[in-house]
Structure 1
Amino acid sequence: MLNMLLSQVLDLMTPVLLAAMAGTLCERAGVFNIALEGKMLVGAFAAVAASVAFGSPMVAVLFAVVCTAIFAFPLALGGARFGGDPIVIGIGLNLLAAGLTTYLLSALFGVTGTLVDPAVIALPRFGIGALAGLPVLGAIADGHNLLVYLSWLLVLVLNVYLFRTRWGLRLRGIGEVPSAAAAMGANVNRYQTAIVLLAGALCGLAGAQLALGSVALFAENMTAGRGWIAVVAVMLGRAHPLGIALACFGFGLADAIGLRLQGQGLPNQITDIAPYAITLLAMIGLGLRGAMRKIRNT
């Protein structure tokens, strides 16, 4: 039972984890990205639309990546290149994504609410021989789709990139002291623009996992706050990939437990709030920690 629960946690946390990795890159580059929610929603819609059109989940994932990278252009150009307020631009992108996907759902498919089509193919699950033979870990980590494994590989890659390479050191320098980085010859605007576009692509993966991972459908506003949870995960993990992965695991665990309790007859209105309640408590904890730090420093 515990193995099944933890296996479900890995599926549920993957969209948040991928979006949080996108937020981590932006945070390290000095661009506060709160448009993760809208980009995930665009990625989910693009993945389902491409799955209907081409009948291939892999093509659907690639299409979602391209579409969300394009959708990230306003933040990349306005926030990173031309010095606009990234918070204002991010809120605008979130509102645009909600309205645009609702409109396209009706205009392209003639439905409202939820698109369920036999042509939408979920991402295939597969086993990894090296994992399947492990006593406990095999039952938890084996039998997921490619994006689940990719998300954990991405955590390790970003951890090495940010803290073990000179390119990661340069990126962190741009985020912390951009004037000093520019004086050392780094093109701050170019770095930030590229990172925001890359973050958009990662949100495309998050949206594809959300729409084609455990389910094979698109529903209006189906992200349901997961992008905001990803923003909180970045804050909780202090923009460190390993800390963020731990925070996302906690959110996924809360979501999985909520679904289990719903299956036991608890009203879904109660179980659905579990991840958001934890998010709220985490934000309160962050505020209290900051207040205590200020008190100690005075």
Structure 2
Amino acid sequence: MSTPIALAAMGLVITEQAAITNIGIEGIMLIGAFVAVAVSYFTGSWVLGILSSVAAGVVVALFMAVIHLKFKADVFVAGIAINLFAIEFTRFLLRNIFNTAGSFYDPNIVPIPSITIPIIDKIPVLGTLLSGFKLTDYLGIILVFVTYFILYKTVWGLRIRFVGIHPLSAETGGVHVNIKKYQAMILSGIFGGLAGAHLSLGYTRQFIENMTNGRGFIGVAAMYFGGVTPINTWFASLFFGFTEALGNNLQTFGLPSQFMLMIPYIATVVAITIGMIRKQKREKNNLL
């Protein structure tokens, strides 16, 4: 349950480092989820499904980047517009391509395969904890450390962070600020597309209207709670995945489902509050 949140959050960390809060990640994930299912259904290939989802994510992210960077629209307004568009656009496609409403499932949809780790799989406790998950679950963990390396161990990452901290100084130093921001948005689209593909081909094997269900916004909370750093953000994503799993499992004890389903969102509000307080303290210390 943490994987789509973590993947989205990694893309958000990159754009936030470039001073873009990409709340449109929710819409990117949703469109990616639909494209992944549609391509997997028509081609019989989960690989093409993932690649198409990533491509769709990049297109949507670039569209949002153009709205914000070229036409100077407020980034939050642009993000909300993308999210609302994604809900209705995928609903429209669902009805017109598959002649159904609500959800689409078919045996011809090829899911992302599960990976069994040979030796660990036989160990009683470790086998359950570490083996048998979807390929994108393991890929998500790897990409956390790849994101850390890109941001903190490469010249490109240094320039992205410099653009976010002081764009005028970056321009003076010969860095094209808008190009770097476009690049950050492209990476965000890749991560968002992967997150959407995992939702529809890994976490489930179908497309459901608005199936992201706020996970993009939870990714924003994870990013802030993690201090806009990849490793801490990943741990925050694990926490939110845990709260979602906790809410689902507590329903089996007869507790009201409405209250149990609220747990991840209550945790999100608390995390955003804590994250913003920490951010204000950091800004205050910087001014001092």
State TM-score, norm by structure 1.
Answer: 0.90
Q: Which whole-Å CA distance do the structure 2 matches of 1:244 and 1:290 have between them?
A: 14
Alignment of 1:84-163 (within 5 A): 84-129=73-118, 131-132=120-121, 136-163=125-152
Q: Return the match for 2:26 from 25, 28, 37.
A: 37
Secondary structure of the structure 1 residue equivalent to 2:211 = coil
Q: Which whole-Å CA distance do the structure 1 matches of 2:68 and 2:119 have between them?
A: 44
Pick which of 69-78 and 278-287 moved more: 278-287
Q: Which whole-Å CA distance do the structure 2 matches of 1:163 and 1:293 have between them?
A: 19
Q: Which whole-Å CA distance do the structure 1 matches of 2:132 and 2:209 have between them?
A: 29
Partner of 1:8: none
Q: Return the match for 2:50 from 40, 61, 64.
A: 61
Distance 1:242 1:135, change over 3 A: farther
- Paired letter, 1:223: T
Deviation at 1:84, TM superposition (A): 2.8
Q: Which whole-Å CA distance do the structure 2 matches of 1:288 and 1:175 have between them?
A: 20
Pick which of 151-160 and 266-275 moved more: 266-275
Q: Return the match for 1:229 from 201, 218, 236.
A: 218
Deviation at 1:213, TM superposition (A): 1.2
Partner of 1:48: 37
Partner of 1:6: none
- Paired letter, 1:195: A
Task: State whether residues 33 and 193 of structure 2, in contact with CA within 8 Å, keep that contact through their aligned partners in structure 1.
Answer: yes
Pick which of 51-60 and 261-270 moved more: 261-270
- 1:168-213: CA deviation from partner (whole Å, max 9, x where unpaired): 1111001111111111111111111121022112101000111111
Q: Which whole-Å CA distance do the structure 1 matches of 2:81 and 2:226 have between them?
A: 26
Q: Does 1:248 align with 2:241?
A: no
Q: Which whole-Å CA distance do the structure 2 matches of 1:64 and 1:154 have between them?
A: 17
Give the aligned length.
Answer: 287
Task: State whether residues 229 and 279 of structure 1, in contact with CA within 8 Å, keep that contact through their aligned partners in structure 2.
Answer: yes
Secondary structure of the structure 1 residue equivalent to 2:203 = coil
Distance 1:288 1:182, change over 3 A: closer
- Paired letter, 1:150: L
**Unaligned ranges ≥5, structure 2:** none
Q: Does 1:188 align with 2:177?
A: yes
Distance 1:24 1:293, change over 3 A: closer
State TM-score, norm by structure 2.
Answer: 0.93
Secondary structure of the structure 1 residue equivalent to 2:244 = helix
Deviation at 1:17, TM superposition (A): 0.4
Partner of 1:70: 59
Alignment of 1:4-19 (within 5 A): 12-19=1-8
Partner of 1:26: 15
Instruction: Provide the aligned C-alpha RMSD in A.
Output: 2.1
Q: Which whole-Å CA distance do the structure 2 matches of 1:289 and 1:240 have between them?
A: 13
- 1:133-191: CA deviation from partner (whole Å, max 9, x where unpaired): 66754431211111111111111111122122222111100111111111111111111
Deviation at 1:264, TM superposition (A): 3.0
Q: Which whole-Å CA distance do the structure 2 matches of 1:161 and 1:258 have between them?
A: 35
- 1:103-126: CA deviation from partner (whole Å, max 9, x where unpaired): 111011111111111112221101
Secondary structure of the structure 2 residue equivalent to 1:213 = helix
Pick which of 220-229 and 259-268 moved more: 259-268
Secondary structure of the structure 1 residue equivalent to 2:96 = helix
Q: Which whole-Å CA distance do the structure 1 matches of 2:53 and 2:256 have between them?
A: 34
Identity %: 38
Deviation at 1:76, TM superposition (A): 1.8
Deviation at 1:81, TM superposition (A): 4.1
Partner of 2:69: 80
Task: State whether residues 238 and 244 of structure 1, in contact with CA within 8 Å, keep that contact through their aligned partners in structure 2.
Answer: yes
Q: Which whole-Å CA distance do the structure 1 matches of 2:112 and 2:41 have between them?
A: 13
Partner of 2:257: 268
Deviation at 1:272, TM superposition (A): 1.4
